[in-house]
Amino acid sequence: MVMDYQPFKLIAVLLVATGIAILISIYWPVAQVELGYLSDQIGSIKYVVGDMPTYNTFQKLLTPVNTDFSIIIPKIAAVAPIVDNVDPNQPYMYLLALQNGVAHALGSANPDDAGNVYLFAHSTDAFWNVGKYNAIFFLLGKLSKGDEIYIYFKNRRIKYVADQVKIVSPSEIDYSVGNLDQKTLTIQTDYPPGLTFRRLLVIANEVGIQ
C-alpha cells in the first residue's frame, strides 16, 4: 500500500505560510520604524520640532500628539502621548497605559519640578504583542550623548539633552530616583527589543523651557 503524502505536504506548506504571515503582521510596526529610520539617514532628513509647518523638502515637521503631556525624540522620529502616574509594579495598569502611549512612573517628578522624570515604554510585553507606541521605542538605543528630547507639559515645551545611554539589569532600580536637586529625564525600555532580559536607559538633562 502506497501512502499519499500530498495532503500532509499541503498542510505543512499552509502551516509554514501562516506562521510567516503571523510573524510579518506582528513585527511590521517594528520593521516600519526601522526602515523609516534607515531611509531618513540615507536621505539626510532633518527633523524639525515646532508648531509651524515647513516646506523644505529635506525637513520633516514633528508635531506633538498634545501639549498637555507628550514626548518627541527627533533623531528617531518618536512622537507619543505620555500617560501620567502609572504604577510600574502593576502589570495590568502599565500594559493598559502602554497601549495608549508612554508611561510616566508613579512617584517620579513632573517636568516642572526638580528631580527625575521617569518614563517607560516596554518594547513589548510579549513578542506577539508589539503595540503602536511600543514599536516607536524599539529605536531608543540609537540615541547617543547630545541628542535632543522634547517633553510637552502643560502647554510648555521642555528641552532635554541626552547625557548617557546604558544597558542595565532589571534589578538596578536606583536610576528611577535620580538627583532630587537636578532636573533630569530617564526613559526606559526593554533590551534586546521584544525581550525583557535587560533594560535600556536614556538619561538626559533639562536645558530649557519654552
Give residue-wise pLDDT tens across range 60-88: 778 888 999 999 998 888 889 999 988 88
Is the pLDDT at 111 greater than 70, yes or no? yes
What sign results for the dihedral spanned by CA atoms 36, 75, 168, 118?
Answer: negative
Mean pLDDT value across the chain:
76
For residues 206 and 148, give the distance between their C-alpha atoms in angstroms, rounded to a whole number.
Answer: 10
* Residue 79 backbone class (left: φ over 0; alpha: ψ -120 to 50; beta: rest): beta
Is the pLDDT at 138 greater than 80, yes or no? no
Is the pLDDT at 161 greater than 90, yes or no? yes
Grid coordinates representing 118? 521617569
Q: Which residue has the higher pLDDT, 83 or 178?
A: 83
**Sequence spans of domains, the chain:** 6-209
Q: Decide if 197 contacts 206 (C-beta within 8 A).
A: no
Average pLDDT over residues 19-34: 60
Is the pLDDT at 38 greater than 50, yes or no? yes
Structure confidence at residue 140 as a pLDDT band (50, 70, 90): confident
Is the pLDDT at 41 greater than 60, yes or no? no
CATH of 6-209 among 2.40.260.10, 3.30.1330.60, 1.10.150.80, 1.10.1040.10: 2.40.260.10
For residues 201 and 174, give the distance between their C-alpha atoms in angstroms, rounded to a whole number.
Answer: 12
Percent of the chain with pLDDT strictly greater than 90: 28
For residues 103 and 110, give the distance between their C-alpha atoms in angstroms, rounded to a whole number.
Answer: 12
